[in-house]
Amino acid sequence: MKIKAPDAFSGGRTPSFEQSARESLADTQLRRNLGKATQTIRRKRGVAVAEMPDWEQLREAGRALKARTLRHLDEYLLQLEESVKRAGGQVHWARDAEEANGIVAEIAKSHRAREVVKVKSIATDETKLNEHLEREGIEAFETDLAELIIQLAGETSSHILVPAIHKNRSEIRELFMQKLGARDLSDSPPDLANVARLYLREKFLKAKVGISGANFAVAETGTVCVVESEGNGRMCTTLPPVLVTLMGIEKVIPAWRDYEVFMQLLPRSSTAERMNPYTTFWTGVSEGDGPQEFHLILLDNGRTEVLADEIGRQTLNCIRCSACLNVCPVYERTGGHAYNSVYPGPIGAILTPQLVGIGKPGSDSLPYASSLCGACYEVCPVKINIPEVLIHLRGRVVRHKQDEGGVKGKLDPENVAMKAMAKTFSDRRLYEGAQRAARIGQWPLARGGAIHRLPGRLAGWTEARELKPVPKQTFREWWRSRNGSAMEGPGA
Ligand code: SF4
């Protein structure tokens, strides 16, 4: 399987989800790894959530807090800036990825840093910070174990929380032996973690600059928070003398007390833990303790456009827990690389098209990467109605294509077919007539209780699935034969 696919954020030629998914589906090892991992996380999350009698109230509180923050985002961001400066930090505003990357590179250069250590951060993946720093002659070392694995493999992340979910232990063992020179290595997790620990410890101690993302930042105090499992985040944010945090503007929360809600929702939804092992908070700088220089970069990169869309706006509620990925039947089969975006799964299907813009290569296919089963909505700890946003975005994609002349208005065959279907489904007599016609028309196609191949332009429908034939007798016909009268209903 081709792992290093073009990315929807790169502006390059990005294949559609459909094209990439075909490739992923052919990789049986990938599907085995994914199935095993997502089923395990799903089961554990179910147990962790079931312990909380007020889970639904917590979800509602999380949703309401996020909605209120987004309504007053401008005010909270200014308050955050003021609080961080008051605590001795510096704040930078970045309109897009280029500006954000430029600011980080300038800070590193001003300290003559040729190496930086990083905490796992999707915001920096979004801006392609590592690639930018490399062009500037600065080497960025990922310190999260899974991020390290994919960096050494020269691949891209396939899961928000478990970026190397597509790799199994023996593949990681091979990689460490090749790239880190490890010898006589078993594929047991403690052995693999030890090799990474030895390699990273030296990087932590040498680095002059640490780079992180942020899970939350409190407007009232200027406190930034990173939630993690391995302790590498704690090392990155405390050992180097300079700390740079790149954070999307939607990560601000109004008050310290709001952590009460989010720190219950996030660990249970992401790693299925009551509390994650490491939660690091810092407020500006403190003399003699931790980094003596702190920079907070507030990244827009399309977020204000998302905010302007009344239905799409809820996407910015996301706390990146990844619960929606683990329950998605599409993600479980295709994996994250098929989405060609740093945000895979259901959240990627709604966030990426909005951030990069409708009509951009690759992104238009993402709202269709869903069966609309609704499992993502049910687990989302901040109640993002992902199916609603998916349908809304599908509408925007179609309207965009119409504007571009890609959909040929009223005479387009798909439009004609949809109009005919709408008319048929809204009239009982027409509907029953269509059923009778289908019953007659299907006889050369139905074999062994299923239609395996439809003719002509309809063939695409049966390429990957079977169609149930129209039954010999419908429910209404059966009812009439028993009771001698037609059922009358709204469609009659
Ligand atoms: S959309 Fe909801 S479930 Fe998915 S990552 Fe974001 S917060 Fe988690």
Q: Is residue 7 part of a domain?
A: no
CA of 325 from ligand 1 middle (Å) equals 8
Residue 184: predicted pLDDT: 84
Which amino acid is residue 134, in one-letter code? E
List, in sequence order, the alpha helices (H) in 51-188: 55-71, 73-86, 97-110, 122-127, 129-135, 145-153, 169-179
Residue 4: predicted pLDDT: 46
Residue 486: predicted pLDDT: 59
What rounded mean pLDDT belongs to the chain? 91
Query: Which of 45, 347, 355, 376, when mutated, tests ligand 1's pocket best, judged by the most ligand atoms within 8 Å of its CB?
Result: 347
Task: Give dist(CA 101, CA 234) in Å, integer.
Answer: 23
What is the token pair recorded at 277?
Answer: 């092992």
Q: Is residue 218 part of a domain?
A: yes
Q: Are residues 197 and 74 in the same domain?
A: yes
- Do 226 and 243 form a contact (C-beta atoms < 8 A)? no
- Do 34 and 166 form a contact (C-beta atoms < 8 A)? yes
Q: Is the pLDDT confidence value at 9 over 70? A: no
Question: Does 319 contact ligand 1 (Cβ within 6 A)?
Answer: yes
Give the model's confidence band at 345: pLDDT under 50 very low, under 70 low, under 90 confident, else very high. very high
Residue 71: predicted pLDDT: 97
**Spatial CB neighbours of 451, under 8 Å, sequence gap ≥ 6:** 442, 445, 462, 466, 467, 468, 469
pTM of the model: 0.86
Of the three residues 244, 276, 303, the one that is the final residue of a domain is: 303
Question: Does 242 contact ligand 1 (Cβ within 6 A)?
Answer: no
Lowest mean pLDDT, pick from 33-47, 160-174, 397-411, 437-451:
397-411
Q: Are residues 154 and 280 in the same domain?
A: yes
Question: Does 389 contact ligand 1 (Cβ within 6 A)?
Answer: no
Q: Are residues 289 and 424 in the same domain?
A: no
Which has the higher per-residue pLDDT, 487 or 455? 455
Residue 32: predicted pLDDT: 86
Q: Is residue 489 part of a domain?
A: no
Burial of 449 (0-12, 13-18, 19+ CB in 10 A): exposed
Structural domain that includes position 290: 25-55+70-303
Give the number of residues written for the chain.
492
Q: Is the pLDDT confidence value at 491 over 70? A: no
Burial of 308 (0-12, 13-18, 19+ CB in 10 A): exposed
Where residue 167 sits, what CATH number does that domain have? 3.40.50.10420
CA of 263 from ligand 1 middle (Å) equals 14
Task: Give dist(CA 255, CA 419) in Å, integer.
Answer: 51
Q: Are residues 292 and 419 in the same domain?
A: no
Lowest mean pLDDT, pick from 85-99, 218-232, 253-267, 400-414:
400-414
- Residue 385 CB neighbour total at 10 angstroms: 19
Q: Is residue 251 part of a domain?
A: yes
pLDDT digits (tens, 9 = 90+) for 211-259: 999 999 999 999 999 999 999 999 999 999 999 999 999 999 999 999 9
Q: Is the pLDDT confidence value at 10 over 80? A: no
Closest atom, ligand 1, to C-alpha of 315: 1
Q: Is residue 449 part of a domain?
A: yes
Q: What is the mean pLDDT of residues 176-199?
A: 91
pLDDT digits (tens, 9 = 90+) for 420-455: 999 999 999 999 999 999 999 888 888 888 999 888
- Residue 264 CB neighbour total at 10 angstroms: 19
> Packing angle between helix 55-71 and helix 259-270, nearest 10 degrees?
120
Residue 13: predicted pLDDT: 65
Task: Give dist(CA 313, CA 453) in Å, integer.
Answer: 41
Q: Is residue 322 part of a domain?
A: no
Percent of the chain surpassing pLDDT 70: 95
Helix (H) or strand (E) holding 278: strand 278-283
| Protein residue with least CA distance to atom 3, ligand 1 | 380
Residue 224: predicted pLDDT: 98
pLDDT digits (tens, 9 = 90+) for 358-395: 988 778 999 999 999 999 999 999 999 999 999 999 99
Query: Which of 253, 328, 380, when mutated, tests ligand 1's pocket best, judged by the most ligand atoms within 8 Å of its CB?
Result: 380
Of the three residues 288, 303, 318, the one that is the final residue of a domain is: 303
Residue 465: predicted pLDDT: 80
**Spatial CB neighbours of 290, under 8 Å, sequence gap ≥ 6:** 237, 238, 243, 282
pLDDT digits (tens, 9 = 90+) for 103-143: 999 999 999 999 999 998 999 999 999 999 999 999 999 99
Q: Is residue 450 part of a domain?
A: yes
Q: Is the pLDDT confidence value at 31 over 70? A: yes
Q: Are residues 124 and 262 in the same domain?
A: yes
Q: Is the pLDDT confidence value at 1 over 50? A: no
Of the three residues 303, 332, 348, the one that is the final residue of a domain is: 303
**Spatial CB neighbours of 135, under 8 Å, sequence gap ≥ 6:** none
- Residue 267 CB neighbour total at 10 angstroms: 20
Give the model's confidence band at 408: pLDDT under 50 very low, under 70 low, under 90 confident, else very high. low
Tokens 């799903």 belong to residue: 42
| Protein residue with least CA distance to atom 4, ligand 1 | 324
The DSSP line for 419-462 is HHHHHHHT-HHHHHHHHHHHHHHTTTTEETTEE----GGGGGGG
Domains identified in the chain, total number? 2
Task: Give dist(CA 259, CA 319) in Å, integer.
Answer: 12
| Protein residue with least CA distance to atom 8, ligand 1 | 321
Tokens 């090799």 belong to residue: 195
| Protein residue with least CA distance to atom 2, ligand 1 | 380
Closest atom, ligand 1, to C-alpha of 350: 1
Q: Is residue 220 part of a domain?
A: yes
Q: What radius of gyration do the chain's Cα atoms show?
A: 26
Residue 407: predicted pLDDT: 57
